[in-house]
Chains A and B, each alone.
Chain A
């Protein structure tokens, strides 16, 4: 039997600079029908490039590809686009990372789901609609006919990704390439999408190439896995073997970087509240309807602790953070802070730094606004703080665009340190970062906590990260704190149904048993 997919010695080079830059070296991959192969690695490791090349979507002029890509014996690397088109959307389909931007914003969902049928089949509009409705129902969307007539902006992130899957599987492709399909989604939704892919694989015998940097998802879904680093496949083999006995240093590092959930002793603190939030309500008016975002929330943040706040997006986590820091005025309730200058770190280190200003100027900004320090003192403090976060003072004269994601988040943390706060609120500080960089930033925050005695309110949807970082955890759902407790209580003995559900979707049930 001919292999479904045969890739041999695939090399991809960019020619946009004077010296050509190779992004993928000697990539080999064989896939059989119905197989699920994982492709893991950090951003920039070449995994998406390889996948796009297989899907025939790398066709930039400044890019050279060498090697062989055969799909069912047909060479697709060098064939013209007119022939490639016959396979795309029919035999080979793709799902992308960003379900929001990957759908055409001005076309109805139905139109987009049917599009590949329009291109590849002779079905009548009525038949196409029937198939599309069935595909939407197959991906477990409630009310497919409503979704059919909706526009992308009217759906949630999870629903959009389901739509993408429906559109990709409507023609029963033989190969489905999923490029980080869950990265932009909430943890409960992530798990549902993975289950859905499993179901499609089982029912339709679709082979799946699953690209991700989340090793725990890969281990749940895939049969085989390829680990990529700097354009090379450094290790490949059976998922179980790789996870249990990784051979390469890099694979070990990737596996270690998954935040571990080991039972740690609960540390007793001297129980002094530094922030008291009492009975706070916040509501917004959206389309003339009142939406209660926070419903009588009361929390304490104790001195010297790292408090975790978990919940899905839209549950009010960020609003609570903004309310504590004073960016959002509460409708009712009180907030008492023992110390001034509470600082905040945001999720997106790309968006939260002004691209037109140098790092030094960004860091000095709070001092210029709030103190009458001399420029020399400000500069000296900036140098001190940037050293504290593990960068050198030279970074002060760089622009944000010249820094990597991890470095930017370090700059954000250094900026927060400038006013010498006692409490830092970190709103999803690592969810936009790669897993190894994530581990470094978490380590830095832990160090600041221990060395400088800074307390953190740590907001995240990633329970593993929260478990690693936090002493005490609050679980939030639809604007209410549903459970509160020490780390070990929450993880080992969750009481509320919602907490159990969160742990289950993160694959953390029975982890200590």
Chain B
């Protein structure tokens, strides 16, 4: 329990530091939001009054704490480009991106874990070799390309979904999840190959360990040795990788959203960066940071549950 508390505390501190860095960085980047909004023909006077109106003439420290205080209550300020609050702009996009990410995560585990375990259990057989070959190929394909391939094969050829035909969850949940399967699969595929490979080689590594020999010497069945002793030990490095993969998936989903035409965070992030709409960009970066940090926290907690040697 103390372990969890410590981890949560360090997460909060990390988030605080990230927010400070991001806020300061975007204030120091050259480029004046007021100027970009009014255009180069604007008068000095108009610019100054807009800057005052946007609060840009106040000291950085004051602006940061004001932003932080509001952000903690869920208010990320107003978009520079659109006459909307950042929160309302993001609110309906965030669940889409999160769904995409979690969906990919689930698919990744469903694909990689059973196959990795099976391949290692059947080490040296034809089926093991077949899994290895397919795995090598999949690992080399980047998500955006697998996205294009999936669109081509499942969308255009087999007509299993309509490319670009995103359906909102509120309109038709079944079709929403049906459509989302394909982009999620595109993200999950190369990552699954990596998880499979890692789990496979750590399982094979465990086979040579002394405790496995001990387990056999007690008269265990091969199956029991494999599933009761080796699997838990081999899962330790895999869990670490799952945490990293989860953080990486959010980047994957931003690209995949473009390929499949999904109105998620990816699209607003790109347009906001182009328009120097900093409040939106900062808010999205903070959300991504939150997701990454929380997923790492989860990994740390799972890690502790699996491996008694971790931190005391």
Residues on A lying within 8 angstroms of B by beta carbon are 55, 57, 81, 85-90, 93-94, 96, 98, 101-107, 115-116, 119-120, 151, 153, 164, 167, 287
Contact = CB atoms under 8 A, between A and B. Distances in A.
B213 A57 contact: yes
A236 B184 CA distance: 69
B232 interface: yes
A57 B218 contact: no
B209 interface: yes
B219 interface: yes
Main secondary structure on B side of the interface with A:
helix
Nearest to A90: B219
B145 interface: no
Contacts of B309: 105, 151, 153
Contact of A88 (B211, B218, B307, B312): B218
B214 interface: yes
A88 B210 contact: no
A124 to B, nearest CB: 19
A85 B219 contact: yes
Contacts of B213: 57, 96, 102
Given A106-B236, A151-B308, 19 more contacts: A85-B220, A85-B221, A89-B220, A90-B219, A93-B218, A94-B217, A96-B214, A102-B211, A103-B211, A104-B215, A104-B229, A105-B211, A105-B307, A105-B308, A106-B308, A116-B219, A153-B308, A153-B309, A287-B312
Given A101-B210, A101-B211, A106 B219 contact: no
Contact of B220 (A55, A106, A115, A167): A115
A425 to B, nearest CB: 31
A106 B306 contact: yes
B233 interface: yes
Given A57-B216, A81-B222, A93-B217, A104 B308 contact: no
Interface of B: 209-211, 213-222, 229, 232-233, 236, 306-309, 312
Going nearest first, the 3 A-B pairs with the smallest beta carbon separation are A89-B218, A89-B219, A88-B219
A104 B217 contact: no
A93 B220 CA distance: 12
Contacts of A105: 211, 233, 307-309
18 contacts: A57-B216, A86-B219, A89-B218, A90-B219, A96-B214, A101-B210, A104-B211, A105-B211, A105-B233, A105-B307, A105-B309, A106-B232, A107-B232, A119-B219, A151-B308, A153-B308, A167-B218, A287-B312
Given A98-B210, A103-B211, A106-B232, A88 B217 contact: yes
Nearest to B232: A106
Contact of B217 (A57, A101, A103, A107): A57
B212 to A, nearest CB: 8
Contact of B218 (A101, A107, A116): A116
A104 B225 CA distance: 11
A55 B217 CA distance: 7
Contacts of B308: 105-106, 151, 153
Contacts of A103: 211, 214
Nearest to B312: A287
